[in-house]
Amino acid sequence: MRQTWRWFGPADLASIDDIVQAGAEGVVTALHHVPNGVAWTPEEIARRRQEVRRRKDGSPSGIAWEVVESLPVSEDIKKQKGSWREHIANYKTSLRNVAAAGIEVICYNFMPVLDWTRTELRWALPNGGSCMRFDIDDFAAFDIHILARRGAADDYAPGVGEEAGRRFAAMDESQKRTLARSVTMGLPGSRESMTLGDVRAHLAEYGDISPARLRQHFIDFLTEVVPVAEDLGLRLCCHPDDPPFALLGLPRIMSTEADFRTVLNAVDSPANGMTLCSGSLGARPDNDLPGMMERLGPKVHFLHLRNVKRDSDAIAGSFFEAEHLGGDTDMVALIAAIVREEARRKREGRADAQIPMRPDHGQDILDDINRRAQPGYPTIGRLKGLAELRGVMRALEHPGFGIVSVSAALKATGA
């Protein structure tokens, strides 16, 4: 695996110097300031590359921009409305410009309106740290009582609506505002959040878009951009829905293994792949992460490794962001599946045998507690996550003791 680190640009509290000290081998970043739908220019891309190349004192950092996250797909493209054709043309231009800069992996998502969604950005942990949490009852309280979406109460499992009513009744005005702000936090990096009016207007636009129609829009988009990406030697990788179930009555179509299979098969190309995000997919008990890595492995172009702990086995349930080796996903089994996939690729002579991974999200601990970084992106919490993951990777990849050598040895002895 290639160890990478997400950086939000010069305003990020973690500097390039910090990333070098964390031992990351590459940087994941984007032109967060360019509005969705607008083409990324060679000049802007070159500027960001230079920023990654230098430490604070001007000396070479020794690391480079290796993965784009995200090249966002505009709402117009998702809805096939307004300027969607122009936006697709711009997307292709951005791909050409990114390829010319030597970057090959491009992450994006196809979630309507909201990207990742949580109800608490700093949920207190027993050890004094904090993490992000999604609580289905709080979310329903927002949906039914704060946003007051028509028919919202019918979208929840029995009991959730009642609990949401009790929670809402117990909230003061400032708690309601905090909840609304947490839910409507915009894309990380953009620093924008939406007003309730914005959310209602966006939801209205999706009134006539079923999941099947959104999936078709997605396949139409891929049919346009994947051949361009393939010609350029790029690997596109769609990030799953986070959380992986429908929210606010919006269609969500990239939540399960079957969802990914449909879209990867519809436009079958090495350039059409997935970002396997164990934290997003792991919020659903019916997503088997090591199995997904095993079965979809050849199309996994980027890895987000993190863990969540679910409160229950409900499909649309509450969870919090656990430590990287804690939580409900068996991280060792997942990393073992990744190491096996990399070994397979090596045998096949694939140039992309090493898959970029990044420690995704982290808990706020130690000095991060008061630093107020981008939610989910504290420096020390991620550093701890990377260190733990690296330990597992190093052990499983070890030429003498790792899983590939162990399975070869077992085969040789006929065991």
Out of 2, 118, 239, 384, name the contact with ligand DNO by CB under 6 A: 239
Instruction: Say whether residue 107 binds ligand DNO (CB under 6 A).
Output: yes
User: CA-to-CA distance for 335 and 293, rounded, in angstroms?
Assistant: 9
| Interaction mask 1-40, ligand DNO, x per CB under 6 A | ----------------------------------------
Where b means 16+ CB within 10 Å and e means fewer, 33-45 reads: ebebbbbbeeeeb
**Number of residues that make up the chain:** 415
Q: Which of the residues 396 through 415 are near ligand DNO (CB under 6 A)?
A: none
- Residue 164 contacts residue 137 (beta carbons within 8 Å): yes
Helix or strand or coil: residue 267? coil
Nearer to ligand DNO, 168 or 260 (CB): 260
DSSP state of 297: G
**Residue tagged active-site, from 304, 324, 364, 368:** 304
User: CA-to-CA distance for 161 and 155, rounded, in angstroms?
Assistant: 9
Q: Tokens representing 254? A: 């990239």
Out of 3, 94, 97, 109, name the contact with ligand DNO by CB under 6 A: 109
Nearer to ligand DNO, 66 or 360 (CB): 360
Out of 18, 75, 76, 115, name the contact with ligand DNO by CB under 6 A: 115
Decide if 241 is catalytic.
no
User: CA-to-CA distance for 330 and 326, rounded, in angstroms?
Assistant: 8
Q: Please name the helix (run of DSSP H) or strand (run of DSSP E) that holds residue 391, with its range, or none.
A: helix 379-397
User: CA-to-CA distance for 9 and 31, rounded, in angstroms?
Assistant: 8
Applying CB under 6 A, which part among 109-117, 128-136, 324-332, 393-401 lies near ligand DNO? 109-117
Decide if 377 is catalytic.
yes
Q: Tell me the site size for ligand DNO, rule CB under 6 A.
A: 13
Decide if 238 is catalytic.
no
**Residue tagged active-site, from 239, 301, 324, 364:** 239
Decide if 107 is catalytic.
no
305, 267, 39, 113: CA torsion to nearest 10 = -60
Q: What are phi and psi of 311, to 5 degrees?
A: -75, -30
Nearer to ligand DNO, 63 or 187 (CB): 187
Minimal distance, residue 26 CB to ligand DNO, in Å = 16
Instruction: Say whether residue 70 binds ligand DNO (CB under 6 A).
Output: yes
Cite the active site residues.
Answer: 239, 277, 304, 360-361, 377
Q: Which residues bind ligand DNO (CB under 6 A)?
A: 69-70, 107-109, 115-116, 187-188, 239, 304, 360, 376
